Amino acid sequence: MIFWKKQLSWRYILLWGLTLILVISCAPNVPASVSDPTPVSVSSNNIPTPTPFQPQNSPNPYLDIPTPQPAPTFTPYPTKYVVPLDISVPVDVAPSAVSGLLTYNPLTGLPVDDPAFLQRRPLAIKIGNSPDYVRPQSGLTLADVVYEYYIEWGDTRFVGIFWSNIDKAERVGPVRSGRYFDEHLVRMYHSFLFFKGADPRELDHFNELDISERFVTVGFGNCPPYFMGPYKRDSYNNVFFNATKWDACVERRGYDNNPQTISGGFFSEEMPTSPLEVTRIYNFYSVYNYSYWQYDADKNVYVRYQESKDLVSFRKVEVYEPLFDDYAREPVTTENVVMLFVPYIFTNQNQAEDEVYNPSLIDFGNAYVFRDGVAIPARWSRTSIDQPILLTHLDGTPIYLRPGQTFYQVMGVTSTQIQNGTEWRFEFQTP
């Protein structure tokens, strides 16, 4: 029995040996060196594809200087202060030696008609952008700075920071509800916030803040000066604010409205140098809310276009129309568009289920600055809890905005960017 097994083993070895020789003899000859694979031809249709933060066909500017994004967890105040290097002197916004008053607005870099108007707190006013029939809004063109951010369920909202034009803004709105994000702006601009109620969780948060006195919601009477608008619509979306009457209300109620020291941005008329020409900037927040900014080279401004049909109820093709300021009777434009990439977080799981976002505008992050038809890769830094963000180049030197209004588009850090020639498209995403 043992002898038979040994015979069987030698037969198997012989069979495998013959098979191996046959395979080797039939194989093609291998060259001495193997050339690189032949590239696969790619269509020249230049079809845009989504990429995070960066333009197509160009290096990622944010990889040159590695700076981590803030961790996407709730932080009630900045965890560190980032001081960019080589900061030069901004446009002269110091008080006049003669009058002792500011002669330039540090939020716009423009001279003010009456410097006395800057000797008080700015006003942050919530302005609705949905439902569609609240458009055209009132007062957007009179704000020195405007922020647009995603709130929930496909909608966005504006916050206008009014300072130099308070005496002109008789109708601002429609005023809508507050969100966690608004606290950042109230602290940054030392402002009051005017809003129409809030989710109980957010309202409780506002009431517990050390600056709660500056959160002024809709009430009865003419102090604060809210009023019903001249539109035939539901009352919930027909509340407006008269900024010109606020000073009288302040005196009557005894609010702290003392002059504030606010560090503005850096401003210059000089055209920046950038190889990234961008004539149109799309802001796609959802199928219900999307828009774009079109650069007007003759006037050095960006003109706002807003969706006129959503992509759910009406059609599958994006349709736009110019956005107008119904009070000022002019189109909404801005000298600067800034794309901010900010973590959209939740304070707990319960709020995640309800989409109660808390965009974390603290510490630092990536950004793009658009002015004069070009894009500038940037960093934003909140170097102090009670000052506006600082915009710098990737090497830490300041970015100079064009004197005038600045419109901030607040996007999630995982939002995508698509480049198609001189048209850039940002699509809002959250983790």
Give the pLDDT confidence of 51-102 residue by residue, as tens digits.
333 334 444 566 444 344 343 333 343 333 333 333 333 444 445 555 556 6
**For the whole model, what pTM was predicted?**
0.80
Residue 40 lies in a domain: no
Report in angstroms the alpha-carbon separations of 301 from 100, 292, 378.
Answer: 32, 13, 20
Owning domain of residue 411 = 51-427
Which structure tokens are listed for 206?
């506002």
Q: Does residue 268 sit within a domain? A: yes
For 316-332, the pLDDT digits (tens) are 899 999 999 999 999 99
103: in domain: yes
Number of domains in the chain: 1
Report if residue 17 sits inside a domain.
no
Task: Tell me how far CA of residue 29 lies from CA of 32, 34, 38, 295, in angstroms.
Answer: 9, 12, 20, 62
The one-character DSSP state at 120 is S
In which residue ranges of the chain is pLDDT below 70? 1-102, 348-349, 431
How big is the chain by its Cα radius of gyration, in Å?
A: 29
Kindly report each contact of residues 344-352 with a partner whose C-beta sits within 8 Å and lies 24 or more positions away, as own/partner: 344/150, 344/412, 344/413, 344/430, 344/431, 345/72, 345/73, 345/74, 346/74, 347/74, 347/180, 351/201
Is residue 24 situated within a structural domain? Answer: no
For residue 201, tell me if it sits in a domain. Answer: yes
DSSP 3-state assignment of 239?
strand
Whole-angstrom distance between the N-terminal and C-terminal Cα of the chain?
A: 69
Tens-place pLDDT, residues 139-152: 999 999 999 999 99
- How much is the pLDDT for 30? 35
Whether residue 222 lies inside any domain: the answer is: yes
Q: What is the DSSP string of 26-71?
A: HSPPPPSSPPPPPPPP--TT-----EESS-TTS--GGGSS--PPPP
Q: Is 303 in contact with 322 (CB distance < 8 Å)?
A: yes
The reply to whether 22 falls in a domain is no
Specify the pLDDT at position 127.
98
CATH, residue 149: 3.50.90.10
- How far is it, in rounded angstroms, from Cα 348 to Cα 351? 6
pLDDT of residue 103: 82
Q: What is the pLDDT of residue 88?
A: 36
Instruction: Indicate the SS3 state at residue 118.
Output: helix
